[in-house]
Chains A and B, each alone.
Chain A
Amino acid sequence: MVPLEKKNIYSAALIILFAILLTKLFHLQIYEWGKYLQYSEKNRIRQVRLLPTRGLIYDRHGYVLVDNTPSYSVSVFPFEYLKNDSSQEKIADLVGVHKDIIDSKIRQSTSPFLAVRVASNISFDTLVKIQERSLELPWIIINVEPTRMYSGDIFASHLFGYLGEISRAELKSRQEYGLVQGDYVGKKGIEKFYDDELRGKAGHSYVEVDALGREVGTVQVDRETQPEPGADIYLTIDLELQKLAEKLFEKKSGGVVLLDVRTGGVLVLCSKPDYNPEIFTQKISNEIWRSLVNSPQKVLYDRMIQSEYPPGSTFKLVLAAAGLETRQCNISETTDCQGYINLGIHTFHCWNTSGHGQVDFLDAIKRSCNVYFYRMSLKVDVDDWARHSRLFGFGQPTGIDLVGESSGNVPDRAYLNAEHGENGWGKGMLFNLAIGQGELLVTPIQMAQFAMILANKGLYVQPHLLHRFYYMHLKEFRYHQPLRKQIQNISQNTWQVLQKGMIMAVNESGGTGLAASLPYVSIAGKTGTAENPHGEAHAWFIGFGPAQNPQVAICVLVENGGSGGAQAAPIAREIFDKYFEIENRKQSFTIITDDTDAKI
């Protein structure tokens, strides 16, 4: 009896499944037959893509940096376009795009009933001309599409990045994100790094069109989806400070990174020369593109995160730390600087060719004495030095939320052996590394991060630009939680000594960083003048302030600027000055800001 019962269960399951299918089939083919027959014979269904609005970009205080503004684009439905051979030329003429270009876009389309954009950001004249013909050519449609609009106060072009039409490769690798041909996606900077958040999600609606392609109404079938707006991004950037930095670098090459040492937030990220981000909101011509790519100043290059430079004397701090930590040096040790040191047949000079006389450890930092550090490099093993460099974040990307960051280069014994052969390098090369020259390469963002680590006595917070997202449809903020860690194996004493040397360099007479000093607050810093074979030396300044209770750390780089003390330090001073002015203003008005990440 039991198998019979089971057999019936299987039969019953089959009957239920078939009943479900038949019911639905009956519903479609008999009950709703008239509606569907109409769709299939008289009219057709078109899919209309409802574009989401891209998230805006704000500074830390809520000033709009990147906004959206409407622009008009022309789209064509491939089905009708291919049917009407005679009007193809006319359309090309009307839109002002060559027919071959339109044809190739139509050929790439995935569905004949999904509109293909053939021209964007059209002029008002074109818009009017097309609309006059809309009865005759109902299958050409005008779309309102948001394009980017910038506040105009700052360029920050490398920071924002730009948008561009999705490439075939991107389309393939990011299919699941709902992207289609013709969509705009971030190509660089914040726009690219946070593209998925900023972009939002397209929706679809379905409209009924008649045989001439005219819209008759919306389709009463399910599955219409509304677009979802992209998240707004609040950056850690301070508009006022960024504006000042860009002004200070107006005629210079190089840039500034200013970090909030308590949060890792980037207050200023300025790389010059740059370009007006507006140029990417129009259809960019080949000439403009070529001039940007081939410009001798490399304007598309973000010097703060992509370019690698020798750090010059700023890097003496790393050797100093390695010397103290490996107990190869002590703070009371003195050297008599004659302005040079002989090594075999070679003579290595101090930058001060007349000599510093008797210098001790702190003096050597303050006055940036090369000879003192040449001697130190003879005592500290190159691998110890390289290990400490990496501990401070050199030789690897900082992981800032931008694309294309470089790692720099920290040579160690293995590297030197590989490059020069085991006997191909000697003490002279170590001398160069000691003063931040030679094969050692760093990026300005790494230097700013280093200044932050020094300010925090080893507390590292990952540099980042994202302060928070705002999700409009959820009415909810989401805060960025940066990575934090304490750098191990460096004694409190070492941090104090390094900080003391940096304070002396800015605040005591004879210090190389005097030009960065402010009367009302104590700044700590270290200058660097990095020789380079292609021209004038690069001027560096890294530092933080207030020295006793640090809030911000800075890195200033002036490409081919000359001496760090004379060229970079004054810029740092202006920026610090502005920063403290803003802080004071905030306190006197007790403005409540959203420095939530400062509390974490």
Chain B
Amino acid sequence: MLIDKRSQPNWTLFVFALLLSGYGLLAIYSATNSSDNPDIRDNLTSQIIWICVGLALGLVISYLSLNIVFSVAYFPYVSLVVLLAILAFVPSSNGVNRWFQVGPFHLQPSELMKPALVLALARFISDRNRSPNKLKTLFFTFLFVLLPFILVLKQPDLGTSLTYLAIVIPMLYWRGLSTFIIFAICTPIITFVASFHFWTFFVIIVLTSLILIWSKRGTLVFWVLFVLNISVGIFAPVFWNSLHEYQKQRILTFLGLISDPQGVGYQIIQSKVAIGSGGIIGKGFLHGTQTQLRFLPAQHTDFIFSVLAEEWGFIGAIVVLLTFFLFLRKAVEIGSSTKNMFAGVLIMGIMTVFAFQLFVNVGMTLGIMPVTGIPLPFISYGGSAMITNMLMVGILANKSVTLST
């Protein structure tokens, strides 16, 4: 049956999502009301419409039976991969191909891909016959993620593609991925970074070896991982030095490790000035000088948190973060109380999508994360993101998930 009549969706999550969207509206109004550009001033109205549309879709999702969700789990993923591939191979006028024009609306498939990927992966890895600790499962999981990752990286949209990567380990871990494999996946990455400084590298290798010995996985596993790490350590600097100066620059700029031509350093400074000058109680709604003088770049999208923190101060920022925290805690609670493996993995994945974006976005405005263009869920201005977020709330709040406890 299509609609499960036995219980109610989890309304708490919808309340939190609406609260966050409300903070967002205040910030968007503040950031756009003084603009000379009428299109920018209209953003508030558009955002309200998107919240309503998103909410309606989210409600529909929250009433669907889990069986239905399970049976169509691969469909959104496959269709969105096709759309992304079309975007990737159709030439664009300005070199950036991120959206389809659907009437007045810019549909951004990469946003919708976030829940779609989680959904498809959840079905794939929750299968009773697939152990998350088998190489085959890991390999196909990797392929699942790699496809949209590359297509979106090519757009180029590093932030969104990193979001796809971020969900993998939290989802697999819920399914039962052993800590040792997480360790095995993470060490080469750590060694790669550490290899540029000899003593750091040395300490990392010693620690890795000790953990390997302590984990008692047998000599073969030990030597394979040991040799892998040593070779990563040796070849990373060689590989790096073989690059041309401009290639290094490109990679570093791409990763946000050095300031880029558009003056990212300046953006960060302005963002920090805005946040820092807010103090404990803030400068008051519509009184943020940094915001009103439009010192802040992309202040109604990527840097929206700076607007809130400037005008509402430390207290306002804590209210926002606390709402997020409670929202995410609630998600973890629901995910961990369900006995259905598919639902559990699905909810942990969605929770990670929110948590990752929140952390990277707020971290960026505070100057501790690179500028990658990740929006703040519910609060940043943007239609595709808002609708996607509400759809994800619909999944988290789904009533048959609550029922399956």
The reply to whether A14 and B355 contact each other, CB–CB distance below 8 Å, is yes
CB <8 Å contact, B332 and A11: yes
What is the 8 Å Cβ interface bit string for chain A, positions 1-45, against chain B (1 contact, 0 not)? 001101101110110011011101110111011011101110001
- For this complex, into which size category does the number of interface residues on chain A fall? 35 or more
Residues in B with CB closer than 8 Å to A33 are 276-280
B315 to chain A, nearest CB (A): 9
B266 proximity list for chain A (CB < 8 A): 45, 47, 111, 113-114, 204, 206
Contact status of A10 and B366, CB under 8 A, knowing A177-B246, A206-B269: no
CB neighbours of B362 from chain A (8 A): 21
Q: A3 vs B261: C-alpha distance in the bound complex, in angstroms?
A: 48
Which B residue sits closest to A228, measured CB to CB? B245
Determine if A17 and B355 form an interchain contact, defined as CB atoms under 8 angstroms apart.
Answer: yes
Return the chain A residue nearest B253 by Cβ: A176
Of chain B, the residue at the smallest CB distance from A223 is B265
Shortest Cβ distance from A231 into B: residue = B245
Interface check B363, CB cutoff 8 A = yes
Instruction: Give complex CA distance A17, B263 in Å.
Output: 27
Taking a contact as CB atoms under 8 Å apart, the answer to whether A10 and B351 are in contact is yes
Let me know if A464 is at the binding interface, CB within 8 A. Answer: no
State the CA gap A491–B310 with chains docked (Å): 81
A6-B174, A20-B368, A26-B314 in contact; A37/B329 too (CB < 8 A)? Answer: no
Q: Quick check: is A179 within 8 A (CB to CB) of the other chain?
A: yes
User: Mask for B241-268, Cβ within 8 A of A = 1, else 0?
Assistant: 0000110011001000011111101101
Residue A175 interfacial (CB < 8 Å): yes
Q: Tell me whether B278 and A29 are in contact (CB under 8 A).
A: yes
Judged by a CB distance under 8 angstroms, whether A300 is at the interface is no
Asked whether B397 is an interface residue with its Cβ less than 8 Å from the other chain, the reply is no
A21 interface neighbour in B265, B269, B321, B348, Cβ under 8 Å: B321
> Shortest CB–CB separation between residue A1 and chain B, in angstroms?
13
A192 interfacial contact with B, CB 8 Å: no
The answer to the question of B152 belonging to the interface, with a C-beta cut-off of 8 Å to chain A, is: no
Rounded to whole angstroms, the CA-CA distance of A245 and B277 in the bound complex is 67
**A158 lies within 8 A of chain B by Cβ:** no
| A110 contacts B by Cβ under 8 Å | yes
In the bound complex, do residue A22 and residue B318 qualify as a contact, i.e. CB atoms below 8 Å apart?
yes
Cα–Cα, bound, A113→B245 (Å): 30
**Is residue B399 contacting chain A, with contact meaning CB distance below 8 A?**
no
**Contact between A37 and B363, CB atoms less than 8 A apart:** no
Q: Is the CB of B318 within 8 A of A28?
A: no
Known: A21-B362, A33-B279. A204 touches B259 (CB 8 A): yes
- Asked whether any CB of chain A lies closer than 8 Å to the CB of B272, the reply is yes
In angstroms, Cα B311 to Cα A61, docked, is 64
Q: How far is the CA of A188 from the CA of B48 in the complex (A)?
A: 53
Is A196 on the interface with B (CB-CB < 8 A)?
yes
Inter-chain contact B269/A29, CB cutoff 8 Å: no
Given contacts A25-B366, A206-B266, contact A201 B309 (CB under 8 A): no
Q: Among A4, A20, A28, A175, which residue has its beta carbon within 8 angstroms of that of B261?
A: A175
A4, B337: Cα distance in complex, Å:
9
Choose from B173, B268, B269 the contact partner of A6 (Cβ within 8 Å): B173
Which range holds the interface residue count of chain B? 35 or more
Min distance, Cβ A198 to any Cβ of chain B, angstroms: 12
A225 at the interface (CB under 8 A from B): yes
Q: Which residues, 304 to 350 on B, are CB-close (under 8 Å) to A?
A: 309, 313-314, 317-318, 321, 324-325, 328-329, 332-333, 335-336, 348
Q: Is A119's beta carbon under 8 Å from chain B?
A: no
Q: Which of A22, A47, A196 contacts B246 (CB 8 A)?
A: A196
Contact check, B269 vs A178: say whether CB atoms are below 8 A apart: no
Within 8 A of B (CB), among A167-214: 172, 175-180, 196-197, 201, 204, 206
Closest chain A residue to B244, Cβ basis: A196
Question: Is A221 at the interface (CB under 8 A from chain B)?
Answer: yes
Query: Given A14-B329, A206-B269, A25–B314 Cβ distance below 8 Å?
Result: yes
How distant is the Cα of A26 from the Cα of B173 in the complex, in angstroms?
Answer: 33
Interface pair A28/B280, CB less than 8 Å apart? no
**Complex-state Cα separation, A215 to B140, whole angstroms:** 59
Given A25-B275, A204-B266 in contact, is the A178-B261 Cβ separation under 8 Å?
yes
Q: How far is the CB of A184 from chain B (nearest CB, A)?
A: 15
Q: How far is the CA of A1 from the CA of B260 in the complex (A)?
A: 49
Chain A residue at minimal CB-CB distance from B265: A223
- A141 in the interface (beta carbon within 8 A): no
Residues on B with C-beta less than 8 A from A39 are 273, 276-277
Given contacts A6-B173, A180-B261, A225-B259, contact A14 B250 (CB under 8 A): no
Give Cα A21–Cα B328 distance, bound, in whole angstroms.
15
Residues of A with C-beta under 8 A to B11: none
Docked CA distance A544–B318 (Å): 81
Cα of A116 to Cα of B314 in the assembled complex, Å: 36
B254 (CB) vs chain A CBs: closest residue: A176
CB closest residue in chain A, given B359: A17
Report Cα–Cα, A502/B317, bound state, in Å.
85
Contact of B328 among A14, A25, A30, A41 (CB under 8 A): A14
B155 contacts partner chain A, Cβ-Cβ < 8 Å: no
Q: Cβ of A204: which chain B residues have Cβ within 8 Å of it?
A: 259, 263, 265-266
Give the most central of A36, A172, A178: most B CB within 10 Å.
A36
Give chain B residues whose Cβ lies under 8 Å from the Cβ of A25: 275, 309, 314, 317-318, 321, 366
Q: Does B353 contact A (CB under 8 A)?
A: no
Q: How far is the CA of A22 from the CA of B320 in the complex (A)?
A: 11
B270 at interface, CB cutoff 8 A: yes
Sample of 9 more A-B contacts, CB < 8 Å, known A22-B321, A39-B277, A223-B269: A3-B336, A18-B325, A24-B367, A24-B368, A25-B318, A30-B279, A39-B273, A178-B260, A221-B269
Mind listing 23 A-B residue pairs with CB under 8 Å? A10-B170, A11-B332, A13-B355, A17-B359, A18-B321, A18-B324, A22-B318, A25-B317, A25-B366, A26-B314, A28-B272, A29-B314, A37-B276, A40-B274, A40-B289, A45-B273, A113-B266, A175-B262, A177-B246, A201-B249, A206-B269, A223-B268, A225-B265
8 nearest A-B residue pairs (beta carbon): A36-B276, A7-B336, A40-B277, A223-B265, A28-B276, A178-B261, A36-B277, A29-B314
